[in-house]
Structure 1
Amino acid sequence: MADTLDRIRKLLAKAERAGTEAEARVYTAKAAELSARHGVDAALLAAARPGADPVGCTRVELCEPYSGGKARLLGWTASALRCRWVLHPAGRGRVRAVTVVGHAVDRDRVGLLYESLVVQATRELARCRPPDPGESVAAYRRSWLLGFAARVHERLLAAERSAVARAAAGPAPGGRTAALVLADRGAAVDRAFAAAFPDLGTARRPRRSGSGFGAGVLAGSRADLGRGRLAAEPR
């Protein structure tokens, strides 16, 4: 499993050093596909060895600017990779941290992917300007980052579904299907999440005042997805 994560890291590094956008997308797609397969394979192996891949929590501290958008990028990435998440607000739309709850393998995948995605998003944000010179640059960038995160989430979900479909063609431990194994793991994550955050309220949907959402979606389509290094409608 460590070898697989190392291969994912190398693919992401190649994507980040690629000379062209098309070349970066090739490496990115390979890394995302490998990440999804790694998650499913690890889940099936863990099903044969109870306790081998425990559920736990990882708290990720965030920094300004755009901590709200970064929180959604992390959280929506986590949810696509079968984790739960909760944000810790700092007031006035800012977010202090995000806690990710999930199996160890999936939390590792989330961390690798988010590390790459936030670098990509930050690099793009530095170049982002609204087409209307009268629009707030900050509002445009916040909206752009939400679009980027939303599209990344969609792409990761597709990669995970594809990996599960491939696994369904083969045998699973104890005669169970891959879908049942993953459902059991999801139930374990839900129980841990409920125990860790019993009084959690419902988060408000992020508001978009800028016009950059569509441009962010397009950038998310090109992103070196976890496909990069390797989070229900996102909360």
Structure 2
Amino acid sequence: MPDADALIAAAVAAVRGTDVRDAERKLDRLVVGTGAADGAAAVDAALLGRLVATLARLWPRGWQPVDVARIVPRRLGPRPGRLVVDALAAQRRAQAGDVPPWWDEQLDGLDARVWWDDDAGWLARWAAREGEDRITALREAVEVLALLDGLPAVAVLRPPPGGGGPTVARRNAAGPSGSRILDRVRALLAKAESTTFPAEAEALTGKAQELIARHSLDRALVEAAAERPDLPGGVRLGADAPYAGAKALLVQEVAAANRCESIWSDDLGFATVLGFEGDLEAVELLYTSLLVQATAAMLRGRVERKAKGRRTKGYDESFLNAFALRIGERLRAATEAANRQAADAAGPERLLPVLAARSDAVRQRMETLFPGVTRARLTVRDAEGWHSGTSAADRASLAVGAPPPRPLPGRR
């Protein structure tokens, strides 16, 4: 009589294989269970145990809870995404030793908590909560396991619990930062996203950028004088379909303007941004807000095109690409203006070497973690979308007192 672990291992291997009929047979055998009186409960408990063990093997390979919670629904759908959040909670319960605060912040942001009393009854209760039968729940749990088993190693941005080594303690930029300036930035950007008046959005976003630039430079000077200066850290930002390339381009442009480096992993649906803590916080805040603003402007243009009977896919992609490039120009101009003002106040002999050293440190970190990075050429498929996206970026004023944007080559 096979035990539960053997049945699960066979089902996962079959799902990862190419023989569809064999996978169905192994899944059916898993439904039947071990044949013992408590065979179903034993299978359910063993499934959760295998999920916990599989997740634990991912952490030294660079994955973090938010990464797992992003890729599972991307590949398998929302229900498996909710299932893996439960598995993350169970894995956290099993962790021994010190767990860094940022790890629990990620889990809190996912609302990952152990809400069930007995592991043997977890899958049945989860299926009831989701309104599905046990067979479907078993299938989705096995599919999650098969996906997790096949994930590649990614860059280790921060040592996982028990990993040791130097780390950069970062707060979750989606929540309170402990900095009154960044909390003000967050509030300004939220208002800019919600207003229906373009002029108000421009003023709010411009004030937010002014505060971000000032805050970043102040931190750079303070940290340079510390006995143990910070090291470059990293964060992964979602850049998923539709128009994943355009979203990744927006990440890249925002990152470059904030002295960070960005690498897009198309197959995994995220961009990795490397930089110092304050700059990473700025990239997260700006990217999230600008993506909301760009999408809203794109949808307004799409309504007009549909009314004229025109196709929108090429327009949308060109719109977002143009928006990203023009926003990048304007962000860089704002950063340069802030640098000049700070150099005048602190003295160029003090500020410029600090900024150069930080840029070198970030570039070195990128070359260490991503030695084989390649660049891709941008293709424009819709001229109207390109010009509309550029105009929308012009309207999204980003820096108080920044010089006007330079026209793109070839545009009149």
Q: TM-score, normalised by structure 2?
A: 0.50
Kindly indicate whether residue 365 of structure 2 is the aligned counterpart of residue 188 of structure 1. Answer: no
Q: CA deviation at 1:210?
A: 1.2
Give the structure 2 partner of residue 41 of structure 1.
Answer: 218
How many residue pairs were aligned? 220
Kindly indicate whether residue 237 of structure 2 is the aligned counterpart of residue 60 of structure 1. Answer: yes
Is residue 112–residue 226 contact of structure 1 (8 Å, CA) maintained in 2? no
Partner SS, residue 42 of structure 1: helix
Partner SS, residue 128 of structure 1: helix
Which residue among 326, 331, 351 is the counterpart of 1:151? Answer: 326
Give the structure 1 partner of residue 351 of structure 2.
Answer: 178
Give the structure 2 partner of residue 31 of structure 1.
Answer: 208
Kindly indicate whether residue 174 of structure 2 is the aligned counterpart of residue 2 of structure 1. Answer: no
- Structure 2 segments unaligned to the other structure (5+ residues): 1-177, 401-412
Kindly indicate whether residue 208 of structure 2 is the aligned counterpart of residue 208 of structure 1. Answer: no
Q: CA deviation at 1:123?
A: 1.6
Q: Percent identity?
A: 39
Higher strand share goes to which structure? Answer: 1
Q: CA deviation at 1:103?
A: 0.8
The verdict on how the C-alpha distance between 1:31 and 1:60 changes in structure 2, with shifts beyond 3 A counting, is same
Give the structure 1 partner of residue 155 of structure 2.
Answer: none
Distance in structure 1 (CA, Å) of the matches to 2:305 and 2:190: 32
Is residue 318–residue 381 contact of structure 2 (8 Å, CA) maintained in 1? yes
Kindly indicate whether residue 342 of structure 2 is the aligned counterpart of residue 167 of structure 1. Answer: yes
Is residue 298–residue 389 contact of structure 2 (8 Å, CA) maintained in 1? no
Q: CA deviation at 1:85?
A: 1.0
Q: CA deviation at 1:38?
A: 1.1
Name the larger-Rg structure.
2
Higher helix share goes to which structure? Answer: 2
Q: TM-score, normalised by structure 1?
A: 0.86
Is residue 76–residue 153 contact of structure 1 (8 Å, CA) maintained in 2? yes
Distance in structure 1 (CA, Å) of the matches to 2:370 and 2:325: 25
Is residue 16–residue 224 contact of structure 1 (8 Å, CA) maintained in 2? no
Distance in structure 2 (CA, Å) of the matches to 1:53 and 1:159: 25
The verdict on how the C-alpha distance between 1:76 and 1:16 changes in structure 2, with shifts beyond 3 A counting, is same
Which residue among 246, 258, 262 is the counterpart of 1:81? Answer: 258
Q: CA deviation at 1:165?
A: 0.5
Give the structure 1 partner of residue 394 of structure 2.
Answer: 221
1:101-122 C-alpha deviation (Å, 9 max, x unpaired): 1111111110011111111112
- Relative contact order, higher structure (CA 8 A, sep 6+): 1
Distance in structure 1 (CA, Å) of the matches to 2:279 and 2:391: 26
Q: CA deviation at 1:50?
A: 4.8
Kindly indicate whether residue 282 of structure 2 is the aligned counterpart of residue 105 of structure 1. Answer: no
Is residue 239–residue 248 contact of structure 2 (8 Å, CA) maintained in 1? yes
Is residue 323–residue 389 contact of structure 2 (8 Å, CA) maintained in 1? yes
The verdict on how the C-alpha distance between 1:51 and 1:109 changes in structure 2, with shifts beyond 3 A counting, is farther
1:35-86 C-alpha deviation (Å, 9 max, x unpaired): 1111111111111115443201211232211111011011111011100111
Task: Quote the RMSD (CA, aligned, Å).
Answer: 2.2
